[in-house]
Amino acid sequence: MNSLAGLMVGMLVGATGVGGGAVMTPLLVLLLGVAPHTAVGTDLLYASLTKMFGVAVHGSQGRVDWQVVRRLSLGSLPAALGTLMWLHWAGSSGVRQGTIIVALGSVLILTACAMAAKPFLNQIGKRMRIGDPTHFKRFQPALTILAGMVLGFLVALTSIGAGALGAVMLVFLYPLRLTPAKLVGTDLAHAIPLALVAGAGHILMGNVDFRLLGSLLLGSIPGVWIGAHFGGRLPDAVLRMGIAVVLGVVGLKLLV
């Protein structure tokens, strides 16, 4: 069962860059009965190791913009470290259980709304980029770092955001520079160091189930390879709206 879940989520990650946290963490909590803090910690390491195989495929085909990855990481890695320190100092069962459940549900609903609005945000970004390119490009690096900070906080707390929300932010900030294929590769490449840093922090807090991690990886490694090779053939609009609906429903389930 765990390996099958890893296979399905791995295919989704490889094809779209989405699913490492947004799908796997709720799956672990709701269907497999894993404690929220353990689900977050285990999923972070699962996502980072799974996405390495996806980035290897995308990188070999020149579909990673490393400058954008560096800008995001300048914001996300320090923010993730700060969030981990807060979780360690807070350390109560309320933060480890209740806060994470509420945060999971809220971020899933936010992610669903962002994915549904992705084409509109892309069009707004294009109009701003074409209409006033000088000002847009001047603020682009700082806004990318700020976006990284938001992602770093959300990923360290919930394991969600690096893929789905990161992609939505990038289509607004780089509407002309990142093609759909390059968007997925760049998003995956940024997610790896972020998930590794956040996952290492959760290891130190004892929030990782290594036996569960191993069984998930057995399915996810071939899954992400399959997804990365065939993802470009999937209809983007149908896939995006389908994922958004599922995430919204799961988010409401967690909150209710």
Instruction: Give tens-digit pLDDT for 82-138.
Output: 999 988 887 644 445 567 788 888 888 988 898 888 889 999 999 999 998 998 999
Per residue in 152-203, pLDDT tens? 999 998 888 777 788 889 999 999 998 887 888 888 889 889 989 999 999 9
Q: What per-residue confidence (pLDDT) applies to 144?
A: 97
Question: Mind listing the pLDDT tens digit for each residue in 209-228?
Answer: 999 888 888 887 777 777 76
Q: What is the 3-state secondary structure (H, E, C) of the chain?
A: CHHHHHHHHHHHHHHHCCCCCCCHHHHHHHCCCCCHHHHHHHHHHHHHHHHHHHHHHHHHCCCCCHHHHHHHHHHHHHHHHHHHHHHHHHCCHHHHHHHHHHHHHHHHHHHHHHHHCHHHHHHHHHHHHHHCHHHHHHHHHHHHHHHHHHHHHHHHHHCCCCCHHHHHHHHHHCCCCCCHHHHHHHHHHHHHHHHHHHHHHHHHCCCCCHHHHHHHHHHHHHHHHHHHHHHHHCCHHHHHHHHHHHHHHHHHHHHC
Give the model's pLDDT for residue 127: 93
User: Is residue 36 scored above 90 in pLDDT?
Assistant: no
**Tens-digit pLDDT profile for residues 161-170:** 777 788 889 9
| Res 229 pLDDT > 50 | yes
- Read off the pLDDT band of 17 (50, 70, 90): low
Averaged confidence pLDDT in the chain: 83
| Domain assignments of the chain as residue spans, ordered by start | 2-255
pLDDT of residue 74: 97
Mean pLDDT of 247-255: 83
pLDDT at 94: 45
